Structure 1
């Protein structure tokens, strides 16, 4: 199969891109993300039509947040869009006249990294995305593993602390409450309030108040050596690495790929994640263990992965 289109549904924009068999993006087209669920379907079609101009397209892959059924056709539930059992595949196919595959956005990003990014050369890869929350994808034996009902790899909602912090999903103690962008900001605010003398730069970036501290401030302050900001990254990394050790016991991959906005800080967060992973890996002194790698494709991973999954059929 030749060229396909990948679609990434973001909170503010919907991006469609023409992708070739080597994972190169040949053309892109973006439209604003509308406020209503039905308008989003029309916006997806508009983005696809804009991207496909001048290209012979074989199929379309859509990366959608939330639960996607095992037939890769229906969005069972989307957290930020009013989609409940939304027949997205059928609706978009009717509008664009091309075969459509719908995939969970974290799965699409994981597949993109596996095929064209940090996962190249590995048969068994687990991807996690450290963004506002925590998502992931499972590739074992060179295949994306979705589970029987299509909703596997919701790693962020593994309970790591019984009766722990309340999660947006309604449960308590979910992993993403301790290893995510939201968690990083919480750590920074708590530590800045407790020891403001160690957070002079961080507080200044947040307009002098703990409530003003945002993720970008923690990153900037950590890069400049602010003690509280650096310690906040280490705390996030401690939880992230311990979780990877648990996933290693389940899947025994050859590599973990860490993506998402938090991972943009590179070794500032990856080095302590690796240390925590080795610290908590059962039998780590006697067994081979996975590499912990930085994602390479950044924000393009989901679009590229969705396009390639459409090519796979």
Structure 2
């Protein structure tokens, strides 16, 4: 039997995952084992840009990868509200998508199966399949970035909710009348336990003139507005007590919110991912302490493990690509059957 007629194997099925964030579009060609074998990236178009320009950028990235690899399906991880049918982006805060029929628009141009998923759901799927959530039947994933996103998986199924918008954990209100949130409400969890919260408090400390902030200010070149989340983590890791205290404060709020999620979902494991989680135990140790202290029924119930995510920035790409894999397998089998039929025809 020729290579053309060889039955497609698991290793033959390559899919592209595209992770669309507020500043960058990352795309990768991913194997069935969750390994990114080729990648590219683009700058995310401005919020005021027409949806068609964003689609142009995605198509360009996918075609680049498809030009070097045999791609059979595409998964899109979008930062925004994705409808339950995974065809439409209802709202994306960093893009001009409003009820955008993204799946059909991309399929019409790529002529490949396309799956659209919320970026936090895609990341959670990747951690469940290949990372820190592997083997756990009841999993909660919390992603700490600019805000807080997340997902719940039960029995290997992402719980998307009736309308596809489940997992917006960052907008649980934890402080009545607290800090104003971009969503319009006050006191949302992400205003106290996210990258934005960490940066806000670090800049306020530096701007106050407190001598405890000298290491942060020195690292920022004397400009409080130049302080970023990664810089706070870097200074804390180098041993600065003020930066470590800032991370601990975020960790305490994170632990309180996780206790609420565990009370609601009773998972066996909570995976903490996103950029802020790269601070490691400087964040997670105070998180676990606050979680244990705040958990309802503490001392009389099993506690979920709280662990760091493993896949880092690749989680969205890997998860989106893997969610598209069933469609890729169907396409590979259909192509194989067509080739078999052609080969069986008499000359």
After TM superposition, the score normalised by the length of structure 1 is 0.95
- Residues 162-181 of structure 1: matches in 2 within 5 Å? 162-181=176-195
Q: Quote the offset at 1:59 in angstroms.
A: 1.5
1:11 is aligned to 22
2:280 paired with 1:266: yes
In structure 2, the CA distance between the partners of 1:291 and 1:211, relative to structure 1 (3 Å rule), is same
1: CA distance between counterparts of 2:299 and 2:25?
46
Question: Which digits, 9 at most, give the CA deviation of each residue in 1:31-70, with x for residues without a partner?
Answer: 3333322111011111111112243322211001110001
Q: Please tell me the root mean square deviation across aligned C-alpha atoms, in Å.
A: 1.6
The higher radius of gyration belongs to 2
Q: Quote the offset at 1:16 in angstroms.
A: 2.0
1: CA distance between counterparts of 2:72 and 2:87?
17
Kept in 2: contact 1:166–1:173 (CA 8 A): yes
In structure 2, the CA distance between the partners of 1:191 and 1:86, relative to structure 1 (3 Å rule), is same
Kept in 1: contact 2:22–2:95 (CA 8 A): no
2: CA distance between counterparts of 1:217 and 1:155?
25
- Alignment equivalent of 1:75, drawn from 71, 74, 89: 89
Count of aligned pairs between the two proteins: 313
Q: Quote the offset at 1:14 in angstroms.
A: 2.0
2:7 is aligned to none
2:332 is aligned to none
2:154 is aligned to 140
2:308 paired with 1:294: yes
Q: Quote the offset at 1:209 in angstroms.
A: 4.6
- Residues 12-161 of structure 1: matches in 2 within 5 Å? 12-35=23-46, 36=49, 37-161=51-175
Structure 2, unpaired ranges of 5+: 1-9, 328-347
Q: Quote the offset at 1:78 in angstroms.
A: 0.5
Structure 1, unpaired ranges of 5+: none
Q: Quote the offset at 1:24 in angstroms.
A: 1.1
After TM superposition, the score normalised by the length of structure 2 is 0.86
- Residues 172-191 of structure 1: matches in 2 within 5 Å? 172-191=186-205
Kept in 2: contact 1:263–1:269 (CA 8 A): yes
2: CA distance between counterparts of 1:98 and 1:104?
20
- Residues 239-254 of structure 1: matches in 2 within 5 Å? 239-254=253-268
Larger mean Cα displacement after TM superposition, 181-190 or 241-250: 181-190
- Alignment equivalent of 1:219, drawn from 233, 243, 263: 233
